[in-house]
Amino acid sequence: MGELSKLPNIGKKVEEQLVQAGIESIDKLKQMGSKSAWLKIQEIDESACIHRLLALEGAIQGVKKTMLSDEVKADLKEFYQGHRK
């Protein structure tokens, strides 16, 4: 596994999907943000769920997804509702 899997919430499968989506580094993930990264993953895997979106944001912030603020969770949930397939 590569550098992305060193982040919280990022396991082998999500790392593989990120790389497949052209996001191969922590810096690139942080640059794109969780929403854009999730949309790219969704193009590859239509089953990408809210938990994957929360995991990406947690990874960017350096925390477990359960530790995200309620505000951030609400914002991501609203985004997810508007973009799920």
Q: What is the pLDDT of residues 6-15, one digit of tens each?
A: 999 999 999 9
Can you list the domains of the chain with their CATH numbers?
Answer: 4-83 (1.10.150.20)
pLDDT at 83: 93
pLDDT in tens, 58-67: 999 999 999 9
**pTM, to two decimals:** 0.95
At 84, is the pLDDT very low, low, confident or very high (cuts 50, 70, 90)? confident
Inform me whether the pLDDT recorded for 1 exceeds 80: no
Torsion, Cα of 10, 52, 34, 4 (10° steps): 10
Find how far residue 46's CA is from the centre of its chain: 14
Amino acid at 67: M
